[in-house]
Each structure stands twice: as structure tokens, then as C-alpha cells.
Structure 1
Amino acid sequence: MLYMEISTWEPEKRDLILEHFKELKMPAGVKVHDQWIDLTGSRYFILYECDDAEAMATFNLPWSDVCYIETVPVMKSTEFISLMSRKS
């Protein structure tokens, strides 16, 4: 399943966030499609694929002390429209 995560942090946590990024390693089971940083410097967006709850937790848990993470399951709009068309 695809997930879009938006991580936000307080400006005073910037240095801690940078240290976390330096140590960032994706666990097995998490496939990153793309990543973006908000140019204001306080948000991080990542699109990744994961079907393993343990891998997802392993990826997110180290960040829980420095930022807020909002996780949203997503799919391409064309796939969603096709799915909804079949159900109608």
C-alpha cells in the first residue's frame, strides 16, 4: 500500500531533525518512491510503499521524539477512478 506522510516540527528542533536525517536508514519492507522538503524548513513529505506494520513502525518510531507524523494511505487518482467505476 502507498502512504503519504507529512512530518512537521518546531523550529527549535531543526538541529535534531538534521541529525535524524543523517542517520536515516529505510528498514526492509519500506520502499520510498519520493521525498520532498518544504522550503520553509519545517515539513517533510515522503511517499512510500509498505505492507508490513512492523517495518512501518520501525521507520516512524525513531522520529516520534522530534516531530509529528501524519500518515495518509493514498493511490493514484486514475486507479481510484477505475476502482470506483468497477464498483458502480
Structure 2
Amino acid sequence: MVVERFKDGKAKEIYRRFQEKGRMMPEGLKYIDSWVEVNFDRCFQLIECDDLRLLQEWIFQWQDLVEFEIISIVPSKETAEVVTKML
């Protein structure tokens, strides 16, 4: 999960760049879906990748407009399988 915090009300600039250049994700990152807060403060993106360096490359393209928080997550079903083995 990637949490993007839009810097200083820069939502217009972010969407303008997105219209002009797309997500600018390197090959190997897989965009799943995203959700934006109604006040345009944050965007929550679900992204898959096997190489964290690809996230770094992507972040570098947007860091002037967005602050990033990367949260490694595991699907609930897979987590339940791991925990069940320990019970």
C-alpha cells in the first residue's frame, strides 16, 4: 500500500502531470487501484512489486509534489494461513 500525501495543496499539479505523463511507473510495478480523500490531502494506492528499487525509481519521479509512505501488506487470507499454522 502506498500512501501519497499531496504537498501544499498541489493536487492540480499532480493531476496535470498525470494527464501529461501518466503514472511514470517503471516496468515491474503493477498498479491495482487507488482511492483519494475528498479533500485531496492523500491518495491510497495498491501496488504490487517484487523489487523495492522499482518503488524508489517511481517515487523519484513524484517527490517534488508528493510525500510517500510505503506499507508492506499481506492479504488477509494468506495471513490467516500463516497464523493458523502457529495455533
Shorter-normalised TM range: 0.7 to 0.9
Task: Could you tell me which runs of 5 or more consecutive residues in structure 1 were left unpaired when the two chains were aligned.
Answer: none
Alpha carbons 1:30, 1:56 under 8 Å: kept: yes
Aligned length: 85
Matches within 5 A, 1:63-82: 63-82=62-81
Task: Could you tell me which runs of 5 or more consecutive residues in structure 2 were left unpaired when the two chains were aligned.
Answer: none
* Alpha-carbon displacement from aligned partner over 1:5-49 (angstroms, at most 9, x marks no partner): 110123432232123322223211101111111121121111011
Query: Given the two structures, how large is their TM-score scaled by the length of structure 1?
Result: 0.81
The partner residue of 2:11 within 14, 25, 33 is: 14
Post-superposition shift, 1:50? 0.4
AA partner of residue 32 (structure 1): Y
Moved over 3 A (4+): none
Aligned twin of 1:51? 50
AA partner of residue 5 (structure 1): V
Instruction: Give, in whole Å, the separation in 1 of the partners of 2:39 and 2:29.
Output: 27
Farther-moved stretch of structure 1 (63-72 vs 10-19): 10-19
Q: Root-mean-square deviation (CA), in Å?
A: 1.6
Query: Given the two structures, how large is their TM-score scaled by the length of structure 2?
Result: 0.82
